[in-house]
């Protein structure tokens, strides 16, 4: 049972957006038997009859009983003999015990594991645990956090619950190995990890195997990769961040990319959004999530949504802070992508460092300088959406920042002057390495990218 009404048009090759009333997620997909395709649930059952409307919801009829996960991630991986080498590595490094616990605090409970099968390890020359240990355990003590075998296992564990449908929303994820990330690419329906170009040479990544991934456990989920991978040197990687993607919103499937939602002013003990902080003591300072809309400017918003905050004027917020997704350390140009609204002259800070340019959030239609995309970029302007129609979408270069530590960063806006409601209208923030193209990609309303300037 789900406290939502979800028909098969919302089924994906992965988890449903809403957890069951038992607290676990259902996985949907499609199977082909005797030339007939059917929706499946949890790889356990086929849907025989779907979308049955009743007075208080929707029913789907399946052909066999659905059973919830009853084992921890550690127990799930250990129960599969195809992962015996990886299981032994978990035990020898102490991570098995960590993955065999269920924390009562759900904010600390969930882990995501990228497991490597015996075959994936054998393909890289490791036919036994002894061979893997001989390669990595340079200190001879896998329990030591500085031992490379310990680092190898830590690199395959992520804090949080990330099914395949969640992973593809990020360009990188921090692992339990400090400051080390797994990079993520979604290509041709495949989720590829750690594929990157270095010194002009493409280093092939590993692919998450859909049929053997999205395995639910009582304390998280685990996936299987088709190859062996370890932490490697990372060059800076562009982040094209849709600021309207944060857990408190994404966990509300009735609203996320469906309809608008208002996050009211918090209280001293009830802060509704962990990754966004703002001057909420102001009388008019709730965070507004806008989705849809049939006119300008909403039809051009990336993913058709935006974040708005009353900013700058009397009784309105005077500052706001946003926590970014993971950014790899390096030197970046920072672009603020916004929808022009009421005047609000604003200073921007990244990790407390003031950027060299302010943003006037009233700069919109008719304010972008004439010239080629390259000429505009040279003076700190670009069009980040695919439409060339007159609208209020602009991106302003606010400065260059050196990200010293891989991880989550803080972007802060401080009002210099302002007058109106919804004066801070944010769509995206781009962190682009200084030596990469700043003009493209541009983004369509469905979130797709175009490399046409």
The secondary structure of 305-317 as a DSSP string is EEEEE-BSSTTBB
List pLDDT tens digits, range 348-364.
999 999 999 999 888 86
**Model confidence at 388: pLDDT above 70:** no
Cβ-based neighbours of 71, under 8 Å, separated by 6 or more: 79, 217, 218
Query: Which tokens go with 43?
Result: 């790889």
Task: Give the per-residue pLDDT at 37.
Answer: 85
Angle between helices 84-93 and 129-136 (to 10 degrees): 50
Cα separation, 395 vs 273, in Å, equals 25
List pLDDT tens digits, range 111-150.
999 999 999 999 999 999 999 999 999 999 999 999 999 9
List pLDDT tens digits, range 252-300.
777 888 889 888 776 655 667 888 988 877 767 778 899 987 777 788 8
Task: Name the average pLDDT for the chain.
Answer: 89
Cα separation, 410 vs 322, in Å, equals 6
**Cα–Cα distances in angstroms (integers) from residue 370 to residues 374, 382, 383, in the given order:** 11, 11, 12
3-state SS, 47-95, equals EEEEEEEECCEEEEEECCCCCCCCCCHHHHHHCCHHHHHHHHHHHHHCH
Q: Helix, strand, coil proportions of the chain in percent (round to 5)?
A: 15, 35, 45
Q: Between 388 and 335, where is the model more confident? A: 335
Q: Are 78 and 87 contacting, i.e. CB atoms less than 8 angstroms apart?
A: yes
Task: Name the pLDDT band for 186 (thresholds 50, 70, 90).
Answer: confident
**Model confidence at 167: pLDDT above 70:** yes
Closest by CA position to 115, among listed 232, 228, 233: 228
What number of other Cβ atoms are within 10 A of residue 213's Cβ?
A: 21
């Amino acid at each position: 049972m789900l406290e939502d009404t979800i028909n098969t048009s919302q089924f994906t090759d992965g988890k449903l957006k809403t957890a069951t009333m038992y607290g676990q997620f259902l996985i949907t997909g499609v199977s082909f038997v005797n030339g007939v395709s059917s929706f499946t649930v949890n790889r356990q059952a086929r849907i025989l009859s779907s979308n049955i409307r009743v007075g208080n919801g929707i029913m789907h009829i399946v052909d066999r009983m659905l059973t919830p996960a009853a084992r921890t991630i550690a127990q799930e991986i250990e129960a599969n003999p195809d992962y015996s080498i990886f299981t032994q590595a978990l035990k020898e490094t102490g991570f098995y015990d960590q993955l065999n616990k269920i924390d009562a605090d759900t904010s600390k409970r969930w882990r995501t594991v990228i497991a490597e099968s015996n075959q994936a390890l054998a393909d890289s020359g490791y036919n036994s645990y002894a061979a893997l240990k001989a390669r990595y355990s340079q200190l001879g003590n896998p329990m030591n956090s500085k031992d490379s075998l310990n680092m190898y296992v830590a690199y395959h564990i992520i804090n949080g619950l990330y099914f395949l449908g969640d992973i593809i929303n990020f360009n990188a994820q921090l692992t339990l190995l400090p400051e080390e990330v797994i990079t993520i690419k979604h290509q041709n329906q495949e989720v590829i990890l750690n594929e990157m170009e270095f010194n002009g040479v493409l280093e092939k990544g590993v692919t998450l195997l859909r049929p053997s991934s999205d395995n639910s456990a009582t304390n998280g989920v685990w996936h299987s990769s088709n190859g062996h991978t370890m932490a490697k040197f990372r060059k800076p990687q562009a982040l094209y961040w849709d600021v309207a993607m944060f857990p408190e919103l994404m966990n509300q499937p009735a609203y996320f990319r469906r309809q608008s939602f208002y996050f009211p002013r918090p209280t001293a003990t009830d802060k509704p959004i962990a990754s966004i902080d703002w001057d909420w003591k102001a009388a008019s300072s709730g965070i507004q999530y806008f989705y849809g809309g049939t006119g300008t400017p909403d039809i051009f918003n990336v993913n058709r949504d935006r974040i708005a905050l009353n900013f700058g004027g009397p009784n309105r917020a005077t500052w706001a802070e946003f926590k970014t997704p993971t950014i790899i350390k390096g030197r970046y140009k920072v672009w603020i992508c916004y929808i022009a609204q009421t005047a609000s002259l604003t200073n921007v800070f990244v990790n407390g460092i003031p950027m060299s340019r302010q943003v006037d959030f009233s700069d919109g239609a008719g304010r972008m300088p004439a010239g080629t995309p390259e000429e505009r970029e040279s003076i700190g302007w670009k069009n980040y959406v695919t439409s060339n129609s007159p609208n209020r979408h602009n991106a302003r270069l606010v400065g260059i920042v050196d990200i010293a530590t891989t991880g989550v960063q803080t972007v802060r806006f401080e009002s210099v002057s302002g007058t109106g409601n919804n004066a801070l209208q944010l769509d995206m923030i781009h962190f682009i390495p200084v030596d990469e193209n700043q003009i493209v990609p541009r983004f369509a309303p469905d979130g797709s990218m175009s490399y046409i300037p």
